[in-house]
């Protein structure tokens, strides 16, 4: 399997190079530590950067293909950085029956990406997830760790209006801080 292509910013590259050795040192150099090591890397960087996976393989003295094989087997691992705003659409039975697939399609259409992807500006990512345990609120989306129940297509657009208002407020605050 080829490593996914991810354009890293200089800050991200620097963080990986500086912080990864400390993460690796917390684990014995034994292949049985592969999954916990990958979990620690993802916890810190929010995904598994290809450079980090190469270093994990080198540290444990195993092949890169073995690292990828394990990482791709488990759906807990992600290979692309999530967006600043993470959107998870429940596809459990209750949500699916209540139109979860329609809600997912609305998010995908609005953002121009598919489930499992992140927008090029890394602002948004969409995931299709199994039951989130809020069946009485079906269909459900989890937006930035906030449960939004009884989703409707009109609520999808409303969420993006809220994101835009938040972005404008943050920009105003940055400008005011810079001019102070």
What are the binding residues for [2Fe-2S] cluster? 90, 95, 131, 135
Binding residues: 90, 95, 131, 135
Answer whether 164's CB lies under 8 Å from 114's CB.
Answer: no
Residue 40 burial (CB count, 10 A): 17
Q: Using alpha carbons only, what angle is made at residue 74 by residues 72 and 79, rounded to the nearest 5 degrees?
A: 45
SS3 call for 89: strand
Q: Give the whole-angstrom CA distance, residue 149 versus residue 151.
A: 5
């Amino acid at each position: 399997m080829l490593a996914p292509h991810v354009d890293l910013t200089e800050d991200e590259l620097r963080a990986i190079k500086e912080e990864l050795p400390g993460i690796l040192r917390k684990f014995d150099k034994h292949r049985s530590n592969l999954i916990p090591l990958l979990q620690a890397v993802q916890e810190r960087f929010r995904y598994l950067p290809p450079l980090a996976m190469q270093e994990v393989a080198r540290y444990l003295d195993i092949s890169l293909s073995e690292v990828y094989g394990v990482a791709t087997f488990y759906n807990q691992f992600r290979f692309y950085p999530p967006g600043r705003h993470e959107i998870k659409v429940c596809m459990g039975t209750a949500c699916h029956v209540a139109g979860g697939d329609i809600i997912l399609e609305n998010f995908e259409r609005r953002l121009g990406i598919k489930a499992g992807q992140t927008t090029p500006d890394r602002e948004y990512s969409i995931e299709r997830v199994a039951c989130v345990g809020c069946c009485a609120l079906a269909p459900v989306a989890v937006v930035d760790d906030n449960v939004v129940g009884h989703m409707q297509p009109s609520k999808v657009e409303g969420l993006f209006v809220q994101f835009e208002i938040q972005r404008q407020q943050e920009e105003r605050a940055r400008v005011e801080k810079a001019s102070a």
